[in-house]
A and B are shown apart, each in its own frame.
Chain A
Amino acid sequence: MNNQPLTIKNLSKTYLQAHIGKKTATKALRGINLKLENNEIFSLIGLNGSGKTTAIKLILGLIHPDTGKVKIFGNPHFSSSSKRKTGYLPEMPYFNRNFTPIEILKFWGSLSDIPRDKLKTRIQTVLKYTSLKNEEHRKLNSFSRGMLQRLGLAQALLSDPELLILDEPMGGLDPRGIIEIRDHMKKLKEREKTIFFSSHSISEVEKVADRVAVLHKGKILKITKPHSRLEDEFLTIISDYERNNK
Chain B
Amino acid sequence: MKETISKIYQIAKYTVLENMKRRNFLILFLFIIIIMGSGILFSMLAPDKELRVITDLGTASIELFAFLTAAFVSVKMILQEMENRTVYLILARPVKRWTYITGRFLGITAQTAFYIIFMTSALALLLLIKGWSWDFYIVGISISIFFKVLIVISFSIMFSLISTSSASSFLSIFFLWSLGHFSDDLLVLGEMLTEAGIHIAPLLRIIYYIIPNFSILNYKDFYHVRAPLSANFLFSCGYALGYSLVILLISIILFDSKEL
Residues of A within 8 A of B (CB): 15, 57, 60-64, 80-81, 83-84, 86, 88, 90, 93-96, 98-99, 103, 107-108, 110-113, 155, 159, 165
Segment at the A interface, from B86-94, B105-113, B187-195:
B86-94
CB under 8 Å from chain A, chain B span 67-110:
84-86, 88-95
Q: Which of B3, B6, B10, B260 is the one whose CB lies under 8 Å from A107?
A: B10
Is A111 a contact of B94 with CB atoms below 8 Å?
Answer: yes
Can you spell out 16 A-B residue pairs with CB atoms less than 8 angstroms apart? A57-B88, A60-B88, A62-B259, A80-B94, A83-B95, A84-B94, A96-B21, A103-B17, A107-B10, A110-B7, A111-B95, A112-B93, A112-B94, A113-B94, A155-B89, A165-B92
- Min CB distance A209 to B, Å, is 22
Q: Which of A63, A81, A90, A107 is the one whose CB lies under 8 Å from B85?
A: A90
Alpha-carbon distance between A81 and B22 when the two chains are bound, in angstroms? 35
Complex: chain A residue closest to B99, CB-CB: A111
Known: A98-B22, A107-B10. A62 touches B94 (CB 8 A): no
Asked if B230 lies at the interface with its beta carbon under 8 angstroms from chain A, I say no
Asked if B182 lies at the interface with its beta carbon under 8 angstroms from chain A, I say no
- Min CB distance B132 to A, Å, is 39
Asked if B18 lies at the interface with its beta carbon under 8 angstroms from chain A, I say yes
Number of A-B contacts (CB under 8 A): 65
Q: Which of A88, A94, A99 is the one whose CB lies under 8 Å from B92?
A: A88
CB-CB under 8 A from B235, the residues of chain A are none
Per-residue interface assignment for chain B, residues 1 to 24, with 1 indicating a CB less than 8 Å from any chain A CB and 0 otherwise: 001001100110010011001100
15 extra A-B contacts, CB within 8 A, seeds A15-B259, A111-B95 = A62-B91, A83-B92, A83-B93, A83-B95, A84-B94, A86-B92, A88-B88, A90-B89, A93-B85, A94-B84, A96-B21, A107-B14, A112-B93, A112-B94, A113-B3
- Min CB distance B83 to A, Å, is 9
CB-CB under 8 A from A86, the residues of chain B are 92
Alpha-carbon distance between A112 and B10 when the two chains are bound, in angstroms? 11
- Min CB distance B95 to A, Å, is 5
| Chain A CB within 10 Å, residue with most, of B6, B11, B94 | B94
Is B85 a contact of A83 with CB atoms below 8 Å?
Answer: no
Is B85 a contact of A94 with CB atoms below 8 Å?
Answer: yes
CB-CB under 8 A from B133, the residues of chain A are none
CB-CB under 8 A from A98, the residues of chain B are 18, 21-22
Complex: chain A residue closest to B95, CB-CB: A111
Alpha-carbon distance between A91 and B93 when the two chains are bound, in angstroms? 17
Known: A62-B260, A110-B10, A111-B10. A93 touches B89 (CB 8 A): yes
CB-CB under 8 A from A93, the residues of chain B are 85, 89
Is A110 a contact of B6 with CB atoms below 8 Å?
Answer: yes
